Copies of this chain bind each other. A is one copy, B any other.
Amino acid sequence: MTQRRWQQIMDIPLTVAAVIFLIAYAWEVIANLNGVPMLIAEIIIAVTWVVFVFDYAVNLVLAEHRWFWFRKHIFDLFVVVLPMLRPLRLLRLVTLLNVLQRRAGTAVRGGVLTYAVGSSLLLVFVAGLAILDTERSITGSQITNLGDGIWWAFVTITTVGYGDIYPATALGRVIAAGVMVAGIALLGVVTATLASWIVERVAAQDELSHVATRREVTELTDQVNQLKHVLLEHATQMAASSGTPAPSSPTSASGASDPLSKRQPLT
C-alpha cells in the first residue's frame, strides 16, 4: 500500500478521532471532572491519541524517503508527542483545520476568509478550554469557567487586550502567544481580502479603462494571422497569373493555425 492511499483512507477516521477528542476534552474541562467520569474521559482521550500515534507510525513506515518525511513532518511529531502536557494535546486539532481548509478550498478569496474566520472561531473555543484547564487550579486565578476562557481568548485574538484577565502560568502564556499570533494573522487576512476586493471594485467601475486581457490580444493576433493568410494566397494567385514564383507559404500557413506562433522567420 502506498502512503498516499493510506492518507486517503485515514482522512475521515482522523477527523472523527479529533472531534471525539475535542468533545471528551471539553467535557472534562468544563465539568471539571473527578473520579470515574474523569477516568472515562481520559480513556477516550487516550484512545484518540493512540489513533494519531498509529497513523504517524504507519506514515513513517510507508514513506518512500523515511528520513526526508520525518524531517518534513517534524510538526506532526510534536502533535503526537507533546500532548503529554495536557493543554498541548489540543495541537491534535490541527487535523480539523485541514478539513476546514479542504471545504473552503473551492472559492479563492471567500475561501481564504472563510477559512480564517472558521479557524479563528475554533481557536477561540479551544484556547478558552485550554486556558481554563491550565489556569483554573492556581490560587487567585482570574479564569474560573469556560465563559471567562472564551472571553479572554476573544479579547486576545482581536488584540484589544483589556488586561482584566491574563495568563499567569508559563503554559498559559505559551497558549496566549499562539492566540496572539493567530490574531495578527486574522487581522492580516481580513484586511488583505478587503483590499483585494476594493482594488477589484475600483478597477471594475470604469469598463473602458479595463486593462487589455490576454484573450483580447490573442483574438487580435488571430486577426493579423488571417490577414497574412489572405495576403499570401493572393500573392500566390498573382504569381500564378504573372509567372513569377510565390513567396514560401507553408510557414505562414502553420502560423495561421497557431495564434501565437513563435516568430517563424518568413523568408
Show the binding face of A for B, using Cβ within 8 Å: 108-109, 112, 147, 151, 154-156, 158-164, 166, 170, 173, 176-177, 180-181, 183-202, 205, 207-235, 237-245, 247-248, 251-252, 255-256, 258-267
Report the bound CA distance from A217 to B196 in whole Å: 26
CB-defined contacts of A199 to chain B, threshold 8 Å: 195-196, 199
- Which one, B156, B176, B230, B248, contacts A266 given CB within 8 A? B230
Asked if B198 and A196 make an inter-chain contact with CB atoms under 8 angstroms apart, the answer reads: yes
Asked if B234 and A247 make an inter-chain contact with CB atoms under 8 angstroms apart, the answer reads: yes
Beta-carbon nearest neighbor of A254 in chain B = B226
Asked if B197 and A192 make an inter-chain contact with CB atoms under 8 angstroms apart, the answer reads: yes
Known: A191-B191, A208-B215. 9 other contacts (CB 8 A): A109-B202, A158-B183, A161-B163, A191-B195, A208-B214, A212-B217, A216-B221, A222-B258, A263-B263
- Which one, B198, B209, B232, B240, contacts A109 given CB within 8 A? B198
Report the bound CA distance from A221 to B53 in whole Å: 61
CB-defined contacts of A198 to chain B, threshold 8 Å: 108-109, 112, 192-193, 195-196
Asked if B214 and A230 make an inter-chain contact with CB atoms under 8 angstroms apart, the answer reads: no
Asked if B147 and A173 make an inter-chain contact with CB atoms under 8 angstroms apart, the answer reads: yes
Report the bound CA distance from A211 to B211 in whole Å: 6
Beta-carbon nearest neighbor of A259 in chain B = B219
Q: Smallest distance from the beta carbon of A112 to chain B beta carbons, Å?
A: 6
CB-defined contacts of A222 to chain B, threshold 8 Å: 255, 258, 263
CB-defined contacts of A225 to chain B, threshold 8 Å: 223
Asked if B228 and A226 make an inter-chain contact with CB atoms under 8 angstroms apart, the answer reads: yes
Asked if B221 and A220 make an inter-chain contact with CB atoms under 8 angstroms apart, the answer reads: yes
Report the bound CA distance from A196 to B237 in whole Å: 55
CB-defined contacts of A230 to chain B, threshold 8 Å: 228, 231-232, 235, 247, 251-252, 266-267
User: What 8 pairs between A and B have smallest CB-CB spacing?
Assistant: A160-B161, A192-B195, A163-B163, A162-B163, A192-B194, A188-B191, A219-B260, A158-B180
Report the bound CA distance from A151 to B180 in whole Å: 11
- Which one, B154, B217, B242, B256, contacts A216 given CB within 8 A? B217
Asked if A233 and B248 make an inter-chain contact with CB atoms under 8 angstroms apart, the answer reads: yes
Asked if B251 and A229 make an inter-chain contact with CB atoms under 8 angstroms apart, the answer reads: yes
Asked if B180 and A187 make an inter-chain contact with CB atoms under 8 angstroms apart, the answer reads: no
CB-defined contacts of A244 to chain B, threshold 8 Å: 237, 240-241
CB-defined contacts of A237 to chain B, threshold 8 Å: 235, 238-239, 242, 244-245, 247
